[in-house]
Amino acid sequence: MGNLAWINGEITSLSEAKVSLEDRGYLLGDGVYEVIRVYNGCTFYLEAHLERLSNSANAIQIEIPYSGSEIEKAVNDLIAESAYKDCYIYMQVTRGAAMRDHIFPDGVTPGMVMYVRPLAPLLAVEDVSPAKCITLPDERWMNCHIKTVNLLPNLLARQKAYEAKALEAILYRPGNIVTEGTRSNVFAIIDGVVRTHPQTNLILPGISRRIVLDLLGESDTYYEEKAFTVEDLKKASEVWLTSTSLEVNPVYEVDEYKVKGNLPGPLTLMLMKKFREKISSECKGD
Question: Element (H or E) spanning 81, and its range?
Answer: helix 68-82
Sign of the Cα pseudo-torsion (246, 205, 55, 93, in order): negative
Contact assessment for residue 194 and residue 223, using Cβ atoms and an 8 Å cutoff:
yes
Q: Which amino acid is at 91?
A: M
CA distance 4 to 89: 10
Residue 168: which of 200, 209, 130 has the closest Cα?
Answer: 130
Q: What is the dihedral of CA 271, 273, 275, 277, to 10 degrees?
A: -140
Pairing of strands 193-196, 185-190: antiparallel
**In sequence order, what DSSP letters do the residues of 82-126 get, joined into one string?**
HT-SSEEEEEEEES-B-SS-SSPPSS---EEEEEEEE-PPPPPGG
Q: Cβ–Cβ contacts within 10 Å for residue 74, how many?
A: 19
Give CB contacts under 8 A, 24+ apart, made by 280-284.
Answer: 282/39, 282/42, 282/44, 282/45, 283/38, 283/39, 283/40, 283/41, 283/42, 283/43, 283/44, 284/40, 284/42
Contact assessment for residue 39 and residue 101, using Cβ atoms and an 8 Å cutoff:
no
Catalytic residues: 147
Residue 250: which of 206, 222, 212, 283 has the closest Cα?
Answer: 212
Residue 64: which of 88, 34, 41 has the closest Cα?
Answer: 34
